[in-house]
Structure formats: C-alpha cells, structure tokens
Amino acid sequence: MDTAPFITTVLVPALTQGLVITLQLIVLAAPFGLLLGIGIALGRQYGSRGVSVLCKLYVIFVKGCPLLLLLFILYFGLPSVGITLSAFAASVIGFILCNAAYNSEYVRGAILSVKDGQMVAAQALGMTRQQTIREIVLPQALRRAIPGLSNEFIYLIKYSSLAYMLTVIELSGAGKLVATKYFAYNEVFFAVGLVYLALVSITTAAVHILEKKVAVPGLIS
C-alpha cells in the first residue's frame, strides 16, 4: 500500500466526513445540555418541593445509567412505545440528557457558593426572586462553574464517539471503517486520536480565553 495516496484519497476524506458529523453532534448537544443543566440546577435549588425532587431523581437516574445504555433505550427501546428516532437524533438527545445531568451538578455547586447576603441585599432593593436569580446568582454561579462545565464539554467531545454504536458514522466510526477495510489500524486510530486531541486542545484554549474575559477580581481569577 502506498502511503501518500492512501492519506490524501482515503483517510483524509473519510475522517473529514466523520469529523463533520462529530462536530454536528457536539454543536447540537452542548448548548441544550448547558441550558437543561442550568434549568435542572435551578429547579433543584429554587423549585417547589415536587420540582426539586423530580430534578434530583433525573440526575440520579442519568448518573446511574451507562451512556451507552441510555442511547440503546432511546434508539432501540422507544420505537416500541411509538417514538422512532433517527440514529443521529437519538444520539444528540442522549448526549443532551447526559451532559445536562452532570452540568447541573456543577451549576448547583456554584449556586450554593454564592453568598446568601447578596440575595438578601437584592431583595432589600426590591428585586423579585427571579430578578435576584438572573441578575445576581447566575452571573456569579456560571463564572464559578466554568471549569466544571468545560470539563463536561470535553467529555462530550469524546463520548460523542458512542454514536457509532447507533450506526452514526462519526469520527471514530469513520476511522474504524477505513482501518478495517485497509487493515491499517494503528495508522488510522493514531490519526483519529490526533483529531480528538486537537478538538480538546482547541476547547481548552477557548475556555482559557473565556475565563480571562469574564474574570472578576475576587470571584474567579
């Protein structure tokens, strides 16, 4: 096998296609995973007793369930109750559910770290509960949650490869197909690994810039 044509005509096109799918999975899952995570954290902390218990149960359930099992339920299990999802949709939904559960824990921890007195002061100024949460609690909590949330985003980059188990040919899957076809496991998987490493490195750098941008003296530095 000649290496140069293999890389340019086989490997790069295949991995590029896979990478596009991986990026689609991440770009669709991450924002909703973040929003749902914030919602669950707020529900647990400020919701009525019922809402709080529901949010807690959700987190317990998702944290206790292997992601692969969650994906199988969404893709293979739901059709029997009349909900049929494409492999791609099932993957994105599974990632959102998983991502949100862990994100909610980081956000909740950060909410608890906001000093109570500031909420009292906000109320004393006439702010409503919602205004206090939106203007005072969340801006501080989200800043403090950045390290945890970015960690979870990095996990998402890597566990997006599980979509391959639902037949979504994302980056890892594309690599696997090429590797099997050409019996070039080490070369291909090394190349795939480099792409993940690049994605994670870019994320880490971006988070670093974000943290600098939103830094507040005494809050996070």
Assess contact for 195 and 19: CB atoms under 8 A.
yes
Q: Which is nearer to another protein, 80 or 221 (CB)?
A: 221
Q: Which is nearer to another protein, 24 or 123 (CB)?
A: 123
CA dist list (Å): 176 to 22, 91, 117, 145, 158: 14, 18, 55, 35, 15
Q: What is the smallest separation between the CB atom of 220 and another protein, expressed in angstroms?
A: 10
Q: What is the smallest separation between the CB atom of 68 and another protein, expressed in angstroms?
A: 39
Q: Which is nearer to another protein, 132 or 161 (CB)?
A: 132
Residues that bind another protein (CB under 8 A): 115, 117-118, 120-128, 131, 135-136, 139-140, 143, 216-219
Q: What is the smallest separation between the CB atom of 116 and another protein, expressed in angstroms?
A: 9
Q: What is the smallest separation between the CB atom of 137 and another protein, expressed in angstroms?
A: 10
Q: How many CA atoms within 13 Å lie on the side-chain side of 30?
A: 19
Q: Which is nearer to another protein, 144 or 176 (CB)?
A: 144
13 Cβ partners below 8 Å, 6+ apart? none
**Coil/strand/helix, residue 220:** strand
**Distance, CA of 59 to CA of 20 (rounded, Å):** 30
